[in-house]
Amino acid sequence: MNTDVKPAVLLPAFAATDDRPVTLGVLGGGQLGLMFVHAAQRMGYRTAVLDPDPTSPAGLVSHHHLLADYDDAQALASMARLCDAVTTEFENVPAESLRVLSQRNPVSPAAEAVAVAQDRLVEKAHFQTSAAQSAGAAAVGPVPYAPLREAVDLEAVDASLFPAILKTARMGYDGKGQVQVASRDALAAAWADLNHVTCVVEKRLDLVAECSVVVARGRDGACVHLPLQVNTHVGGILARTEVFPGNLDADLSARAIQAAEAIAETLRYVGVLCVEFFVVKQGDGTLGLVVNEMAPRPHNSGHYSIEACDLSQFDLQVRTMTGLPLSEPRLHSAAVMLNLLGDIWLNTGELRTPAWDHVLALPGTHLHLYGKLEARVGRKMGHLTITASTIEAARQVAEEAQAILGIWH
């Protein structure tokens, strides 16, 4: 049972004691911040974004935009004064900044939880703890790995981990900070290329599939989840998410959801958390699950929930940070989500505007463009969610949209 002290629920509009509209703050002004701001504003909250970029997607649409670095003491003090509750959209925000803000505001997720997600080694240790506390067969552990902090660790890496993936412990995203290493010989050179920063050596697994679960946990310990997402990555970047009843074997799906909730529970997490899993073939030929990583925030794979569920991951973020009740989101349409990377603006060899009018002529297409000013290869510029009554219909539309946009995967 949760014994946290419950601060008052922050109702929208004029609920603050000092007679001003309740203001919700977010650290980071990217697309996740943008969609959070949209959800918060729709419910009548004011918003404040802290991001040093004057053209950040969320900063441009927020009531307040504090233009400063995430560790700027003055800006954090202003944020604390301005806001009634604070969240983050950016997992690499300094945990110390969240700690500072928590002196005046409810901050969710808490600095301690974000700090766990910022370091792959700490994160994996947490996954092991969480798995150890779960009952036998239901336990879902991390990918086999070894830490690489200093030169002596090189020899200690178990031979069974090769071929491996070397990942920096901190600051990796969208496949950045990762190097494939075929053998122990390649490891030392690959680590030198990463300037000998602290790393994790992970066994490279043959993936049958990838999936993720978005959970939301309230201050009272109540936990709800989005339906499980099945994801396809291309070059380490999420390319496509599919959600429909039966998208993964029912038993595996239930276990992934249970594991994600256990991970949130063990952290006494408050807020939205996404846990990524790998589906692998086990020694006996049956399918099993391992935990890949977690994100202490809404996740790219949960974007479909805006149109395909009656409650989105951003609605859940608003509800967890304000202490509003959570209810289990219900999937009312099958969905395919396609990420729109900068590549599609550039794939004809010159900058051109994709034929959105043709895409939007297709049934059930929902276009999200984040308002980023420059298209670059691999940069997330937007996403397209396709809803339909069946997954076959959604896939058919996705194929047509991909042909228009030149997305080949």
Q: Taking CB under 6 A as the rule, does residue 205 contact ligand ADP? A: yes
Applying CB under 6 A, which part among 56-64, 201-209, 260-268, 339-347 lies near ligand ADP?
Answer: 201-209
- Name the residue nearer to ligand ADP (CB basis): 207 or 254: 207
Q: What is the closest distance, in whole angstroms, from the C-beta atom of residue 353 to ligand ADP in the complex?
A: 29
CB half-sphere exposure, 90, CA atoms < 13 A:
24
Q: What distance in Å separates the CA atoms of residue 8 and residue 219, rounded to the nearest whole number?
A: 11
Q: How far is C-alpha 346 from the geometric centre of its chain's CA atoms? A: 26
State yes or no: residue 242 binds ligand ADP (CB under 6 A): no
Binding track, positions 34-63, relative to ligand ADP; x by CB under 6 A = ------------------------------
Residue 207 interacts with ligand ADP (CB under 6 A): yes or no: yes
Contact 308, 332 (CB under 8 A): yes
* Segment contacting ligand ADP by CB under 6 A, of 55-63, 93-101, 167-175, 313-321: 167-175
Contact 329, 381 (CB under 8 A): no
Query: CA separation (Å) from 355 to 102, 186, 330, 358, 402?
Result: 46, 45, 32, 5, 11
Of 52 and 172, which CB lies nearer to ligand ADP in the complex structure?
172
φ/ψ bin of 182: left (φ > 0), alpha (ψ from -120 to 50), beta (otherwise): alpha
Q: Does 143 bind ligand ADP (CB under 6 A)?
A: yes
Which one of the spans 24-32, 106-114, 171-179, 304-312 is the region binding ligand ADP (CB under 6 A)?
A: 171-179
Kindly indicate which of the ranges 46-54, 65-73, 203-211, 222-230 contains the residues binding ligand ADP, using the contact rule CB under 6 A.
Answer: 203-211
Shortest Å distance, C-beta 363 to ligand ADP = 30
**21 within 8 A of 36, measured Cβ to Cβ:** no
To ligand ADP, the closest distance from the beta carbon of 143 in angstroms equals 5
Q: Please name the residues in contact with 213: beta carbons below 8 A apart, sequence gap of 6 or more.
A: 225, 226, 228, 229, 256, 257, 259, 260, 274, 275, 277
Among 173, 189, 358, 361, binds ligand ADP (CB under 6 A): 173
Residue 403 CB neighbours (<10 A): 11
Cβ atoms of 158 and 146 within 8 Å: the answer is yes
- Please give the Cα distance from 65 to 53 (Å, whole number): 10
> Is position 307 an interface residue for ligand ADP (rule: CB under 6 A)?
no
Beta strands in 162-269 (DSSP E): 164-168, 178-181, 199-203, 207-217, 223-225, 229-234, 237-243
Binding of residue 293 to ligand ADP (CB under 6 A): yes
**Does residue 248 bind ligand ADP (CB under 6 A)?**
no
| CA dist., res. 350 & res. 375, Å (int) | 11
| Distance in angstroms (rounded) separating the CA atoms of residues 297 and 273 | 5
64, 233, 366, 395: which one binds ligand ADP (CB under 6 A): 233
State the nearest-atom distance from the C-beta of 165 to ligand ADP, in Å. 5
Which residue among 51, 91, 202, 307 contacts ligand ADP (CB under 6 A)? 202
170 binds ligand ADP (CB under 6 A): no
Token output for 310: 């009656």
**Per CB under 6 A, 21 contacts ligand ADP:** no
94 binds ligand ADP (CB under 6 A): no
Interface with ligand ADP, residue 165, by CB under 6 A:
yes
Using CB atoms, what's the residue nearest to ligand ADP? 233
List interacting residues with ligand ADP (CB under 6 A): 143, 165, 172-175, 202-205, 207, 210, 233, 236, 276, 292-293
